[in-house]
Structure 1
């Protein structure tokens, strides 16, 4: 794989999808449908998926593509694949809360090694460069010309005063019970894969997820966190979270900065 090309294509497609998402987000109204699993889907999900899928298939025709919005792809299996959530945080989008993201990741042998997370309503763009280092880009987000970038890195945690981030739409009692095992300085809620990015930038030390997610929800954020020095492990036994699992379903997990003293479930 040419990682320079991969970075360029992932970044450009995320920005193009983000433009389309914001066009729909800023419209007077948009339709919301319900998928077979009772989750919501909008025209923005579908339009962003069409942009990203076409671009990925053109640039990397020989790489398996898994995308949330194309159920036929969920039966595809490969040791190497690109996995896409064109609009993570659809509930945040529907309620116009801004915490939604475009997610594209490249997975090799169970590990998401490159990825991009773009939060168009927040004007935040995170991605792994060709060398694997994660950066946050600022500026005008030109489709072809990369703007100013800053390498990002996880925090050095203080286990007597941890910063925790948790789901905005799925923060339940089980999550609260687990959070209460730690000495917390402050806690914040965020939607979508932005939670991984907040750990990656050092804005939070740990993100526990005690709830259902799919691999397309997490792979890009996981790659961004990996490239910033962070880790993602299973909630039950603290072994690394891997990808390419049956039906692309995740177990509960914990994303964190090394140095956090992980508590048992």
Structure 2
């Protein structure tokens, strides 16, 4: 995969999908359906998925594509593929809380190497550049899909990196919709200065920007939920490891289900599960 070809495409598709999502988000009402696993899905999930998947297949027809909303794609086997969650944080979307994201990533040999996370309700876009450094852009209203170079629709564009963590005063971010006692029990093993909640893959991005030090996830996630955020955090100098043994989180598992994990800045002294 040529990263110089990939990055402009996934950035453009994330913005186009975000614009489509916001049209529905700002409408008077939208239908909510239940999938076979009882998770919700909306017209925004489906519209964003159709836009992104058709764009990726047109641009990279030889690359395997796994996307949350297309069950047949979950049968794909291998360790190198594009993976998409067109609307992560559907519950946040339904309740109009704004913490939802568009996620597109490239996984190579089981590792998310490049990705984009776009939070359209917050106008925050995070992506790994061709060289691997993560960049944040703050977009203004009416953002278009011009090339990555600075243009009139970008209010801010800069490389980001994790913070130098103080283990006596850590900033923790955890799930807004899925926080439970097991998560709190683990967080309580650290010296915590502040704890915040956020939805979707934004939690990875808050660690990547230095707004938090650690994001523990003691709950079910799928690879499409995490791959783009994982790539964004890695490109900012962070790490993602399994909760149980602190080995790297890998991708391309048979069912695309993740074990519990911890995303963190490397100065954090991890506690045992």
Higher mean alpha-carbon deviation, 51-60 vs 145-154, is at 145-154
Indicate how the Cα distance of structure 1 residues 109 and 156 shifts in structure 2: closer, same or farther if over 3 A, else same: same
Secondary structure in 1 matching 2:146: coil
Deviation at 1:142, TM superposition (A): 2.7
Aligned-partner Cα distance in 1 for 2:79–2:189: 37
Secondary structure in 1 matching 2:263: strand
Aligned-partner Cα distance in 1 for 2:4–2:42: 32
Q: Is 1:228 aligned with 2:249? A: no
Match of 1:142 in 2: 144
Cα deviations by residue, 1:30-69 (Å, 9 ceiling, x for unpaired): 0000000010000000000000000000000000000000
Cα RMSD between the aligned structures? Answer: 0.8
Match of 2:191 in 1: 183
Q: Is 1:169 aligned with 2:177? A: yes
Match of 1:113 in 2: 113
Deviation at 1:139, TM superposition (A): 3.6
Unpaired runs of 5+ residues, structure 2, are: 151-155
Q: Is 1:219 aligned with 2:221? A: no
Q: TM-score, normalised by structure 1?
A: 0.99
Aligned-partner Cα distance in 2 for 1:193–1:79: 21
Cα deviations by residue, 1:120-145 (Å, 9 ceiling, x for unpaired): 00110000000010000124443013
Q: TM-score, normalised by structure 2?
A: 0.96
Secondary structure in 2 matching 1:57: helix
Alignment of 1:247-258 (within 5 A): 247-258=255-266
Aligned-partner Cα distance in 2 for 1:173–1:96: 26
Aligned-partner Cα distance in 2 for 1:124–1:137: 6
Q: Is 1:238 aligned with 2:246? A: yes
Aligned-partner Cα distance in 2 for 1:83–1:51: 14
Aligned-partner Cα distance in 1 for 2:147–2:56: 19
Alignment of 1:60-71 (within 5 A): 60-71=60-71
Secondary structure in 1 matching 2:237: coil
Match of 2:4 in 1: 4
Secondary structure in 1 matching 2:255: helix
Higher mean alpha-carbon deviation, 208-217 vs 138-147, is at 138-147
Contact 2:124–2:139 under 8 Å retained in 1: no
Match of 1:153 among 149, 157, 161: 161
Unpaired runs of 5+ residues, structure 1, are: none
